[in-house]
Amino acid sequence: MRFVPRGTGHAIPKKIVTNDDLAKLMSTNDEWIKTRTGIERRHIVEKGTSTSDLGTAAALEAIAMAGWQPQEVDLILAATLSPDYYFPGLGVLIQDKLGCRAIPAIDIRGQCAGFVWSLATAQGFGLTGQYQKIVVVGAEIHSNVIDWNDHGRDIAVLFGDGAGALALELEPGVPELSKRGLIDFVMGSDGSGVEVLCMKRPGMAGQERFVTHEDIEKRLVHPQMDGKKVYINAVNRMCESVTTLMTRHGITAADIDLLIPHQANLRINETVREKLGFPENKVVNIITNYGNTTAATIPLCMHHAVRDGRLKPGSLVMTTAFGAGFSWGANLIRW
Active site residues: 112, 262, 292
Instruction: Give the count of residues interacting with ligand UT7 (CB under 6 A).
Output: 18
Q: What angle do CA 229, 119, 177 make, to 5 degrees?
A: 105
How buried is residue 288: exposed, middle or buried, by Cβ count under 10 Å (0-12/13-18/19+)?
Answer: middle
Q: Is 68 in the site for ligand UT7 (CB under 6 A)?
A: no
Q: Is 138 in the site for ligand UT7 (CB under 6 A)?
A: no
| Stretch binding ligand UT7 (CB under 6 A), from 6-14, 96-104, 207-215, 225-233 | 225-233
| Stretch binding ligand UT7 (CB under 6 A), from 7-15, 99-107, 121-129, 224-232 | 224-232
- β-pair type (181-189, 327-334): antiparallel
Report the distance separating Cα 251 and Cα 245, nearest Å: 8
Q: Is 230 in the site for ligand UT7 (CB under 6 A)?
A: yes
| Cβ-based neighbour number of residue 187 at 10 Å | 18
What is the footprint of ligand UT7 within residues 175-204 (CB under 6 A)?
197
Report the distance separating Cα 307 and Cα 12, nearest Å: 15
Output the smallest distance, CB 197 to ligand UT7, in A. 6
What is the footprint of ligand UT7 within residues 261-280 (CB under 6 A)?
264-265
- Give the three-class secondary structure for 150: helix
Q: Judged by CB, which is closer to ligand UT7: 76, or 230?
A: 230
Per-residue binder mask for ligand UT7 (CB under 6 A), 23-62, x = binder: -----x---x---xx-------------------------
What is the footprint of ligand UT7 within residues 106-125 (CB under 6 A)?
112
Q: Is 157 in the site for ligand UT7 (CB under 6 A)?
A: yes
End-to-end CA distance of the chain: 15
Q: Is 239 in the site for ligand UT7 (CB under 6 A)?
A: no
Strands (DSSP E) contained in the chain are 2-11, 16-18, 41-43, 75-79, 105-108, 133-140, 162-171, 181-189, 197-198, 224-225, 258-261, 316-323, 327-334
Select from 241, 285, 292, 320 the one that contacts ligand UT7 (CB under 6 A): 292
Q: Is 148 in the site for ligand UT7 (CB under 6 A)?
A: no
What is the longest distance spanned by two Cα atoms in the chain? 57
Per CB under 6 A, residues contacting ligand UT7 are: 28, 32, 36-37, 112, 153-154, 157, 197, 227-228, 230-231, 234, 264-265, 292, 323
